[in-house]
Structure 1
Amino acid sequence: MTLKRKLSMVLAASAVLVAASTAPAAASGGHSPTWRLTDTGSTAQFRGLAPVSSRVAWVAGSGGTILRTVDGGRHWADVSPAGASDLLFRDIEAFDSRTAVAVSIGEGEASRVYATTDGGRSWRETFRNDDPAAFYDCMTFLDRKHGLALSDPVGGKFRILATADGGRSWTVRPTAGMPPALTGEFAFAASGTCLVSAGGKALFATGGGATARVFTSRDAGRSWTVAGTPVPSGPTAGIYSLAVRPSGEAIAVGGDYNAPTAAPDGAAYLHGRTWKIARTVPGEYRSGSAWASRRVALAVGPTGSDISRDAGRTWTRFDTGNFDAVECTSDGSCWASGPTGRVARLTH
């Protein structure tokens, strides 16, 4: 069994070892936000999260489970694809209440893409990986038609899968424009945010090697540049999540899932073209991040949630509950998802 496979299994199981309290912690200054849990009726671990608005959201996770709400989380419908119970969904992208694309992870044929246009009543498998060396981690859409999915290195380079028709078909991109991977380098399939996009740019983050790095593409994933970051990297450490704004502002969070309560330099922000460690970091492993507004960002992990009100320069804990992923929508609604069916909305 490869280290990557072991990592995905440990990520799936580790959440049960962390307390699931949602009691908010004290925050300095202003009013502290609070997560309000919804009743999903599921015990799956939801690392895939795709809110569309304050009313519509999708989650995807273990056991091939996909749920959808159209009433703000008061009711959740199980819209899981048929025959997918052995799959681990780690990312889902949704455009509205009817249209969504989900990716499952794993070596070889375990990496697949499914798409629906009828609210999950039916799904079509639109890609199945046939390369035993590939392992797809996460996915992003630059617009409703153009999307990318990221695989760990194959033949010494990260692999990009692309769609130009909203996920109905996919093509493996040539790797001529991809810089070489470092020894041991890979991406973390922890929250569906190891690959993100905004403003015509796509970014993906890594760990596992000597340096945690961020790759950037300005031509829809055909060519990439790469920059090192000061976030510590190692066999199970690095950047687990990115969040980027159309203006180009970006944040990165991570740490080491094997040491969830210690991540001294586990958050960074992009200053020009240079990544800098935040002045005040969450201090613990964080697997998900999102922009809530122009200056406000959120980060979540198994030991709590943090908020930054200065574009990632400083972070303050506001909750001690266990979440894997966080996403915010254009109408200002923020959602989080995690183990044992946990899905919550942010209240102020």
Structure 2
Amino acid sequence: MRKKLFFFSLLTIVLSCKEQILKQGSKQITFTKIISEEIYNDSISIRAIVLDSNQLWFSGNNGKYGAIDLVTQKKFRGRINKDSLHPEFRSIAKTKDAIFILSVANPALLYKISNDRKVVKLVYQEENEKVFYDSMQFLDTNFGVAMGDPVSNCLNIIITNDGGNTWQKIPCDKLPKVEEGEAAFAASNTNVMLRNNKIIIVSGGKKSRCFVSEDKGNTWQVYNTPIVQGKTMTGIFTADFYDENIGFIAGGDYEKQEDNSNNKAITKDGGKTWQLVGQSQGFGYASCIQFVPNSKGKSLICVGGTGVHYSNDSGNTWKKMLEDKDLYTIRFQNDSIAYAGGKNKIVKLTIEY
């Protein structure tokens, strides 16, 4: 009788655990495998991609940009030349009406491309020996933000309120002052994030901080982070926010790409406070971090100099999923499919749970 009672109790516990796992959703447990399939190849460095319905748009160096139809696999290639200049485009963003690509270095060139690809229009140009734009995002049809390295004593930030047709620079007297040697890295178009009316910007270099505006850039607060800093090539290289509160920053020392200490941190209060996680484990130098959709802010993927890594516990522990060190930026189509751009290629990543 005791054996029967023990067996019945054990079965009840097992069934209860199974039911709890099902309630949590199996896609929050763990990845078992990531399958990588190359879908685009060219002589190009791709650090900016954006998904628009069933299309993937990308931009890169040598003035190159393009689109891939993810259903038919039909590819479009475009190239922009301005005089003898072949711009390097490391920022890309979209609205329902157009795609925008923004170049680094002097002169900064921001182009608006119609959805049908027939109209390519220069909508903003900035000339300054220090100009270097790092990232751009749109919140909706009208409001967009681009940010770059300081040209004076503040981060270089421009905004649009008319869908990208015109752009205005936020003057330095309305922005926080930067520290000496503080800038940003155009690693994966993930330095600026928009969540409702909130703008979140991260910096790197000799100072790694988080700049937050709750009112679309009118006022700002600045918060320190524990990410490694102090040298030109250290700091936050990438960030993502699951919602207005849960965010993750990553980076490291570009010159010591295997170093995986002090290079990952999480916030749960919108960027005000940050806690280091995953110390001395997982990835080293990080080029791009992204939350997995529908994971309640628990699951993340990172691409960078030590391969593709995955965490299902808010960044506390990590598992290497792919050895590929030539991926620079990644975006999710859904919780099972992501696309990543990098050195001479774009790959489709199919996630098995």
Which range, TM-score by smaller chain? 0.7 to 0.9
- For 1:4-23, list aligned pairs within 5 A: none
Unpaired segments ≥5 residues, structure 1:
1-28
Larger radius of gyration: 2
Q: Does 1:302 align with 2:305?
A: yes
Residues 164 and 49 (structure 1), Cα distance of their counterparts in 2 relative to 1, 3 Å cut = same
Q: Does 1:230 align with 2:233?
A: no
Larger proportion of strand: 2
Q: In 2, Cα distance between the equivalents of 1:335 and 1:157?
A: 34
Find the counterpart in structure 2 of residue 60 from structure 1.
59
- Return the letter of the residue paired with 1:217: S
How many Å apart are 1:31 and its aligned residue?
Answer: 3.6
Query: Does the CA contact (< 8 Å) of 1:199 and 1:246 recur in 2?
Result: no
Q: Does 1:217 align with 2:213?
A: yes
Query: Does the CA contact (< 8 Å) of 1:289 and 1:327 recur in 2?
Result: no
- Return the letter of the residue paired with 1:340: N
Identity rate, percent: 23
Q: In 2, Cα distance between the equivalents of 1:313 and 1:343?
A: 27
Residues 104 and 203 (structure 1), Cα distance of their counterparts in 2 relative to 1, 3 Å cut = same
Q: In 2, Cα distance between the equivalents of 1:306 and 1:194?
A: 20
Q: Which has the higher contact order (CA 8 A, sep 6+)?
A: 1
Give secondary structure in 2 for the equivalent of 1:337: strand
- For 1:1-348, list aligned pairs within 5 A: 30-53=30-53, 55-72=54-71, 74-81=73-80, 83=82, 86-95=86-95, 99-106=98-105, 108-109=106-107, 111-209=108-206, 211-233=207-229, 234-272=231-269, 273-280=272-279, 281-293=281-293, 294=296, 295-321=298-324, 322-329=326-333, 333-348=337-352
Give secondary structure in 2 for the equivalent of 1:176: helix
1:214-264 deviation digits (Å, cap 9, x = unpaired):
111111122221111111012101000010123421000101222222231
Residues 331 and 315 (structure 1), Cα distance of their counterparts in 2 relative to 1, 3 Å cut = closer
Deviates more, 1:145-154 or 1:312-321: 312-321
Unpaired segments ≥5 residues, structure 2:
1-28
Query: Does the CA contact (< 8 Å) of 1:45 and 1:342 recur in 2?
Result: no
Query: Does the CA contact (< 8 Å) of 2:153 and 2:172 recur in 1?
Result: no
Give secondary structure in 1 for the equivalent of 2:345: coil
How many Å apart are 1:50 and its aligned residue?
Answer: 0.6
Q: In 1, Cα distance between the equivalents of 2:81 and 2:35?
A: 32
TM-score (norm 1): 0.84
How many Å apart are 1:197 and its aligned residue?
Answer: 1.6
Query: Does the CA contact (< 8 Å) of 1:200 and 1:246 recur in 2?
Result: no
How many Å apart are 1:202 and its aligned residue?
Answer: 1.4
Residues 83 and 118 (structure 1), Cα distance of their counterparts in 2 relative to 1, 3 Å cut = farther
Give secondary structure in 1 for the equivalent of 2:290: strand
Give the RMSD, CA atoms, in angstroms: 2.1
